[in-house]
Amino acid sequence: MKTIAYKIFAEALVLFLVGASGYLVAEMILPGFLSSRIGIGWIFIGFALTVFPMHIIGRGVSVSGLERRPSRRASVALVATVAAIAALLAIRDVPSVVWVSGFVAMISSMTAVVVILVGSGADRRASE
Amino acid sequence: MIYPDFTPGIEVPVSHRRTYRLLRALLYTVFFALAVAFFIRLVYFDERGRFDFEDFAASRNTIADPRYADGLPAREGRIPVSTPMSFNMAAPGSFAEVEVRMTVADGSPGPTTVSLLRSYRAFLYPEGPPAGFRDGSLLRIGEKYGVVSGGEFRPFGSAESVRSRGYDTGAFRTVSEAEVSIHPSGEPVVAGEYAPGMIVVSDGSYYRYHDGRFLPFVSGRAYLTSYRPEDALSVDIGVIRQVGADDTMIGFADGTLISYGESVYAVEGNVLRPIDSVDTFLIKGYDWQSVVAATGEEFGMYERGRLYTRKQPHPSGTIFAYPEENRSFLIDSGRKREIRGPNILQSYGSVTPVVVDAVTLRAETCDVREGFWPGTYRCDIPFDRLKEWRIPEYQFEVVAATDSILKNVEVTFVRSIDRENFALFAESLIGRLRTRYVGE
């Protein structure tokens, strides 16, 4: 069941990233139009709801036949990303260009965290 | 497999594949349900406003100017008995209801009622004296000729004396006694005198006499937003030199909308108020056709004023028109002045009026009740009777039976799912795309 849960959350994370990227593209085409209607806080909630369970239940799941062991680096990156998103959300009175750049950085770091979460344990075991 | 496997590296044991498929179907169902829910939220988004009285000047306060009847700001959120607190909010579209949520200070009782009025804030200004002609306007009643100067009607005397001043008697606007009676009678203009406000033209440039000097208009078309060409007395340039011309220039009439670069500005005195967004422009009831593209010289003569957002009322110079009863009003320094008379209205003709669909405004009221959490109060205002009007601005009035102190107030206009709101969304989306990428 742990493997199924991990796989489901991983897929949920991928779907979330597809949606978040769509949000980003729409926000870049028309800054403020989407975010004024659907707050950027939903991105934060979606990210937290998918990535945290995945991180917590991920230990010991077999990825490509190798047991996954999330590294400390992944945990630090995750916490740092969440803190960065929270900071970005807290600062509302910034020009839209800062918002868009911050948003690009946010999606990039979220993707990086996913790569680390899914791959790090397996990579590390493979190299040992 | 209908859906691609995003995680092929993680293998599910054969015994659990059925459970996995079920959970996966559930995941996709939730995902698409959320996508639909977000789409509905995007198209039919609720309009929310908030004001935090503990941080009065915060820019995140989207409700405009909580205040008392005398205009003083309600800084600490106090609502004394018999002194209601008012505030405003803009919300375009049609709605199902309006929810008002309030949190009071520790130990404070809650307010008792909240009433809602659908109207532009400036249109609710206290009524001032009727608006008259601008200074410098040449008027004629029967055989009596005169000029408006310092708000007074100052006669020239006979037609002969008018002609001896160099005026063509045909240049005087024929008006009614009632229209002129708005202006108190002043001293006759004596021969050779330039009354304050009088207009002259020399070598194609227009000037207004003020404080012993001639103030030039920045351009001919700026002049034409306030006066007719025939209001100006043609004089030799020597007269201008002899009297002296000031460096201070006169621009467009108050209330004129001008564009420069990608921005649109409202003229208010010698200040330009930059309109912050397309939404604000539309909420204020302006017409794109009425925007005048300014030259660098015209634009450069103004100071930049504070941003004109949806929270701010219409500036001085705005004309409100109520076509159903053929009535018009001028906004002038926090007062609403009725324009009584077709000739006076014509003299403000360069400013495109903002149309209102009611003069006598109707209010909806709700009784405040306690909310779920201690110290919170709420009331829901039905919107049915307000639906027939189109003005997208609202004024709230909160009344308390015993002295009450608010910590914050939140207002939600719950949007109804209907064709009008979908059209509003589509219009807003297309308008923004055109503004951003086509430059219209």
Q: pLDDT per residue over B334-362, tens digit each? A: 999 999 999 999 999 889 999 998 777 77
Q: How far is B20 from chain A (nearest CA, A)?
A: 6
Q: Is B426 an 8 Å CB contact of chain A?
A: no
In chain B, which residues have their Cβ closer than 8 Å to the Cβ of A40? none
Q: Which residues in chain A are closer than 8 Å to B35, comparing Cβ atoms?
A: 19
Name chain B contacts of A92, Cβ cutoff 8 Å: 60
In this predicted structure, the answer to whether residue A96 has a pLDDT above a threshold of 80 is: no
* Helix or strand holding residue A73 (H, E): helix A72-90
pLDDT band at B166 (very low <50, low <70, confident <90, very high): confident
**Residue B223: pLDDT band by 50, 70, 90 thresholds?**
very high
* pLDDT value of residue A94: 54
Give the global pTM: 0.76
pLDDT at B231 over 70: yes
User: How much is the pLDDT for A76?
Assistant: 75
Residue B428: pLDDT band with limits 50, 70, 90: confident
A12–B31: do the CB atoms touch at under 8 Å?
Answer: yes
Shortest CB distance from B20 goes to which of A4, A14, A29?
A4
Residues in chain B: 440
* Residue A92 pLDDT > 60: no
A10/B41 touch (CB, cutoff 8 Å), yes or no: no
Q: What's the pLDDT at A103? A: 66
Tokens matching residue A56: 């917590």
Choose the mutation target among A2, A4, A115 for the interface with B, i.e. most B CBs under 10 Å: A4
Name the average pLDDT for chain B: 90
Give the CA radius of gyration of chain B. 29
Task: From B408, B56, B344, B70, select the one nearest B181 (Cα to Cα).
Answer: B344
Provide the pLDDT confidence category of residue A112 given band limits of 50, 70 and 90: low
* Mean pLDDT over each residue of chain A, to the nearest integer: 72
As a whole-number percent, the residues of chain B with pLDDT over 70 amount to 99
Look at residue B180 and tell me whether its pLDDT is greater than 90. yes
Looking at beta carbons, which residues of chain B come within 8 Å of A125? Answer: none
> Which residue of chain B comes nearest to A67, CA vs CA?
B10
Instruction: Tell me which chain A residues have a C-beta less than 8 angstroms from the C-beta of B12.
Output: 3-4, 7
List phi, psi (to 5°) of B277.
Answer: -160, 165
Question: Which pLDDT belongs to residue B52?
Answer: 94
Tokens standing for residue B340: 């009584």
Q: How many CB pairs under 8 A join A and B?
A: 68
Q: Residues B240-274: pLDDT tens digits?
A: 998 888 888 999 999 999 999 889 999 999 999 99
Residue with tokens 């709605």: B95
Name the pLDDT band for A109 (thresholds 50, 70, 90): low
Q: What is the pLDDT of residue A19?
A: 87
Q: What pLDDT is stored for residue B354 in this prediction?
A: 94
Percent of chain A with pLDDT strictly greater than 90: 0
Q: What is the band of A114 on the pLDDT scale with cuts at 50, 70, 90?
A: low
**Chain A residues 62-121 with a CB less than 8 Å from chain B:** 62-65, 92-93, 118
Nearest CA in chain A to B278: A33
Q: Does A30 touch chain B (CB under 8 A)?
A: yes
Q: Above 80 in pLDDT, residue B27?
A: yes
In whole angstroms, give the CA distance from residue B356 to residue B375: 39
- pLDDT average, residue stretch B30-39: 92
Give the model's pLDDT for residue B369: 94
Nearest CB to B9; choose among A4, A33, A63: A63
A7–chain B Cβ distance below 8 A for any pair: yes
Chain segment A31-66, per-residue pLDDT in tens: 778 887 887 777 777 877 887 787 777 777 777 777
B271-321 tens-digit pLDDT: 999 999 888 998 999 998 999 999 999 999 999 999 999 999 999 999 999
Which pLDDT band, with edges at 50, 70 and 90, does A107 fall under?
A: low
Whether B140 has a pLDDT exceeding 60, the answer reads yes
pLDDT in tens, B64-107: 999 998 889 998 899 999 899 999 999 988 899 999 999 999 98
Q: State which amino acid sits at residue B9.
A: G
Spatial separation of the C-alpha atoms in residues B177 and B140, rounded to whole Å? 9
What is the average pLDDT across B392-405? Answer: 93
Residue contact B7–A64, C-beta within 8 A? no
Report the pLDDT value the prediction gives residue B431, as an integer from 0 to 100: 81
Whether chain A has a CB inside 8 Å of the CB on B23: the answer is yes
> What is the strand order of the sheet B138-141 is part of?
B152-157, B144-149, B138-141, B173-174
To 10 degrees, the CA torsion angle through B231, B237, B240, B242? -140
Within 10 angstroms of residue B177's Cβ, the number of other Cβ atoms is 9
Is A95 or A51 the better-scoring residue by pLDDT?
A51
pLDDT band at A115 (very low <50, low <70, confident <90, very high): low
Tokens linked to B315: 């500036």
Q: Which residues of A44-64 are buried (b: 16+ CB within 10 A; e: fewer)?
A: bebbeebbebbbeebeebbbe
